[in-house]
Structure 1
């Protein structure tokens, strides 16, 4: 379990902080009141973070050095921030300084949560100047980030190919081989601003607006302090998370809870664009709810919506997280099963059809059952989305034409 050490020379405050943190974040905590207790705790336990609240600057410095020596990041509570006084602390794994005021408890909790959320996130750091690159790399490593160092944009693209879990790029405006403008063109063709963040460290006064319009998440003009860089990184990670939530909900169909048609087509196009890289076989299908219009007219659209939800639930149950499913049209779902052979795919879709047919519509007094028709085809690295859609439509037409409630395959 993640464990935090709270250090406070005020016992009342220490207990308050500990109680709030435990209640909100559900972490295990130890509380120490002086440096000797801190030494005892550190000798016995492993901590992911220390929260330091002591009044004298000398005690603050001793505790920060002790934590740094033991590779424990720290958050420091202070009465006021003096940049000259505290600048060197940033080099010693200090995560944050928090001013003690009426809202400091909420800020402490937010800072701890941010630190835990963004630990070990991969960042590509592409800077031309070797000394600047090393300085920022060392600083960000101490903050808990995993840094991949590069000298230009082409190295960034190479890293992305082998490190798909990279979450952010920090780069210079002017780089050899591929500069920030061209890098943004490459990046935004594949990733949106919530999937991969890009902060440009800018030394061109006329470039800021152009970079933002090109798709940069943020621009930080040189010279800047390490504190400001740290703040910008954390803020952009939060913004990316918020943007991801907005995108997620805007991409969902309101009835089924699956991807809507627009989001579905975007994901399918992305899959087929990279299909040659995957080197895999797949199955592609359209599933159509038989007589949905009749169900809506005879039982109401509310019942029709329950039918749609039941279909979606069965699709989620029978597919894997890597597969692509979505609502293609009012009566039709689209399903792509990745890395699967023909025999296995036929079994899955037959199982889906049987399960749907044998399940009564939920929350309805009458015994209402419904069926689906499925048009199925198979593809490989040579297949195109247009070809698959045409084959699945043809198979679905055959299934409907033969009375529905069946799976037809177009080879």
Structure 2
């Protein structure tokens, strides 16, 4: 996010918004109170604003004139209003704004922050719009662009499936019902054969309410359904947000199940699942794989001397170091209290030994925590297995035996 433009004539509300946005997002907020002031700052800082928060009614622009001026600069715009009449609501949505916020709502500041965060998430989200009507595709795509989504278009079901195959990161499909060759419900069924609802959301569209078309869409695998005949921009955004929020929530739950809560590294469960898959891959393609067990030396003494809070700091420091030194295909996990395990494809045995000897020295010479303004250093021991076994457990057992030898041999060493 670049700079934020705030146009608000209420001093109290303006101060609250400016302070909250700057504190939350660490971006500068430029605050004007009239249309005339805004004209001047837009002329001086053309192209510098990525987001605008506008008061609908200003002393020199009482009927929303400020909106056209700012939207015309290509700036993503949110509108504040204390007027919730149908006339004002329809006028605001006709201006291609991202959203409006009720000033009188006690949760308005929280809503603003959440809406801005959602825009940031949307920039990483790819949406596929499917329909043989160019007018329909343009309408939906433009609305999605306003909310900062990345958008692809398909003219029929067949091309939609090809695009999904090419872009597996697509999170949402918005499909019309009436299409040649394959209608929207049939497309939903095809999509659900490959992509489940926890990975991809679908919103069905129909030009009019035809019998049980909504129920047919839902039963075919769509998450939601909209009738274009009674189409409301606000409703469309609400339904899109609902789908994206559900996917995000599922991702967080899924991620929480495979992550260590303290370090953010993968946990033991993930290590065995993904590690077994990686082992199978390297066996099939004749690649080399090493399994490394790592243990923090005298960690109990750290806990006993400095307390568990400092112990947690040490564990998190080691985890960060492992992450910073991990390769693209490496699997790094915390599998016990102070014990970590790494799987890494490699070119040759000596390469692995040199790499982890370097890592051992880095851990030894890098403060793992600061205690009473003094650096606390720890050491670590490594056991390395470079012989690919029949299964992951056998490789871990060998690495663990070498780790035991490293401990018995004086610690702070790499054993292989």
Instruction: Check whether the contact 1:350–1:407 (CA below 8 A) recurs between aligned residues.
Output: no
Quote the residue 1:187 is aligned against.
195
Quote the residue 2:291 is aligned against.
285
Stretches of structure 1 that go unaligned for 5 or more consecutive residues are 379-385
Given candidates 69, 77, 80, the residue that maps to 1:77 is: 80
Residue 41 (structure 1) shift = 1.2
Quote the residue 1:219 is aligned against.
224
Matched, 1:319 2:311: no
- Residues 362-377 of structure 1 aligned to structure 2 (within 5 Å): 371-377=381-387
Matched, 1:133 2:137: yes
Q: Deviation string for 1:45-71 (max 9, x for gaps)?
A: 121122221437974442221122211
Residue 346 (structure 1) shift = 3.5
Q: How many residues align?
A: 382
Matched, 1:245 2:255: no
* Rounded Cα–Cα distance in structure 2 between residues aligned with 1:99 and 1:256: 40
Quote the residue 1:142 is aligned against.
146
Given candidates 194, 204, 222, the residue that maps to 1:201 is: 204
Q: Quick one: structure 1 residues 122 and 359, their matched pair in 2 at CA, closer, same or farther if it must change by over 3 Å? A: closer
Given candidates 270, 281, 284, the residue that maps to 1:263 is: 270
* Rounded Cα–Cα distance in structure 1 between residues aligned with 2:232 and 2:200: 20
Quote the residue 2:175 is aligned against.
171
Q: Quick one: structure 1 residues 282 and 187, their matched pair in 2 at CA, closer, same or farther if it must change by over 3 Å? A: farther
* Rounded Cα–Cα distance in structure 2 between residues aligned with 1:285 and 1:401: 15
* Rounded Cα–Cα distance in structure 1 between residues aligned with 2:281 and 2:158: 20
Instruction: Check whether the contact 1:349–1:407 (CA below 8 A) recurs between aligned residues.
Output: no
* Rounded Cα–Cα distance in structure 1 between residues aligned with 2:378 and 2:71: 67
Q: For the aligned residues, what is the CA RMSD?
A: 4.7
Q: Quick one: structure 1 residues 131 and 253, their matched pair in 2 at CA, closer, same or farther if it must change by over 3 Å? A: same
Instruction: Check whether the contact 1:377–1:391 (CA below 8 A) recurs between aligned residues.
Output: no
Q: Quick one: structure 1 residues 323 and 126, their matched pair in 2 at CA, closer, same or farther if it must change by over 3 Å? A: farther
Instruction: Check whether the contact 1:173–1:200 (CA below 8 A) recurs between aligned residues.
Output: no
SS for the counterpart of 1:75 is strand
Residue 333 (structure 1) shift = 5.0
* Rounded Cα–Cα distance in structure 2 between residues aligned with 1:407 and 1:54: 69
Instruction: Check whether the contact 2:384–2:415 (CA below 8 A) recurs between aligned residues.
Output: yes
* Rounded Cα–Cα distance in structure 2 between residues aligned with 1:85 and 1:282: 66
Matched, 1:115 2:119: yes
SS for the counterpart of 2:195 is helix
Stretches of structure 2 that go unaligned for 5 or more consecutive residues are 207-212, 372-376
Quote the residue 1:67 is aligned against.
70
